[in-house]
Amino acid sequence: MPPFLELTHVNVARGDNMVLHDINLSVNTGEHIAILGPNGCGKSTLIKTITCECYPIVQPETRVSIFGRERWDLTELKKRLGVVSAELPGKPTLHTTGRDAVLTGFFSSSTLWPNLTVTAAMRERADEVLEQIDAINLIDKPVGEMSAGQQRRIMIGRALVGSSQMLLLDEPSNALDISAQRELRNLLRKLAQQGTGILLITHHIADIIPEIDRLLLLREGRIIGDGPKEELLTAPRLSDLFRTEVQLTQRDGFHHAW
Ligand SMILES: Nc1ncnc2c1ncn2[C@@H]1O[C@H](COP(=O)(O)OP(=O)(O)OP(=O)(O)O)[C@@H](O)[C@H]1O
């Protein structure tokens, strides 16, 4: 299986500012990795570079390869790369039922517009995903009437429906209460154990589920650490990363920082 991602000498600018500097990163398909770093260090820009919403500055040595390919039809790539963030894809999603919202993952759309053709196979796959994410009870419920935790669950289904090889999560636990955070982590654990790769951006250290075994530390657009979790998820490394004293504890495979 080709690697999920290979970035070589990637520099990305947003507006007039250089945001990512000489990023070299390789992630295997099915790997579980978390990206940590202070606000504004370029974490979301890194995800947007993967999804081709941001482009690297063209230089001879620069290379971006996703699932082994350097050239992608954007619509096709979007179907294979589901990104889950704390935001919905758009306002129309609010009026879309759980099943239809999952189906929008096939089209990378905010709702099931009338011109989109849903096949029986797509419907079958959506129901399979709804079962996998324990969301059968949300099939007919409009997304706008769901709790934030339920919405996040459906958005994970939307991201998985086209391809369940890699899930990209950009601060997925934002705005979730303690119970919904726990449910989200349990769902991510289950998916990781079933073979879905996870690339997680988070400010909540407790989101780093035990299945995540690799950490990427990003500061001011540069990778300052990339390696096994047990080496990098330490109080001194986090204190250095966030330039403030961080304390860390570990319990049942989860870490907590303050
Ligand atoms: N659309 C934009 N135009 C210009 N600059 C931008 C744009 N979006 C982000 N930036 C800048 O790019 C830098 C990196 O932003 P990015 O959102 O990637 O950081 P982040 O690490 O995800 O931050 P956070 O943890 O706050 O979400 C920041 O300095 C930000 O101000």
pTM: 0.94
Q: What's the rounded mean pLDDT across residues 210-216?
A: 98
pLDDT tens sequence across 243-258: 999 999 999 999 999 9
Distance CA 211, CA 202 (A): 15
Q: Would you say residue 207 lies in a domain?
A: no
**Within-domain flag for 174:** no
What is the distance in A from the centroid of ligand 1 to the CA of 90?
Answer: 20
User: What is the residue with the minimal CA distance to atom 16 of ligand 1?
Assistant: 42
177 part of a folded domain: no
Pocket of ligand 1 (CB under 6 A): 14-15, 17, 19, 37, 39-45
User: How many structural domains comprise the chain?
Assistant: 1
- Has residue 91 been placed in a domain? yes
Indicate whether 46 pLDDT > 90.
Answer: yes
Ligand 1 centroid, distance to 11 Cα (angstroms): 14
**Is 140 domain-assigned?**
yes
Give pLDDT, residue 130. 97
| pLDDT given at position 2 | 86
Q: Which of 21, 45, 83 to mutate to test the pocket of ligand 1 (most atoms within 8 A of CB)?
A: 45
Nearest-angstrom CA–CA distance, 60 and 40: 27
198 alpha carbon – ligand 1 mean position (Å): 22
Residue 191 confidence (pLDDT): 95
Arithmetic mean of pLDDT over the chain: 94
Is it the case that residue 55 has pLDDT exceeding 80?
A: yes
Report if residue 188 sits inside a domain.
no
Question: From ligand 1's centre to the CA of 252, what distance in Å?
Answer: 34
Question: Is 218 a member of any domain?
Answer: no
- Per-residue pLDDT tens over the stretch 21-33: 999 999 999 999 9
pLDDT in tens, 93-127: 999 999 999 999 999 899 999 999 999 999 999 99
Residue 164 has pLDDT above 80, yes or no: no
Q: What is the pLDDT of residue 165?
A: 87
**Which domain does 95 fall in, by range?**
82-160
In-domain check, residue 205: no
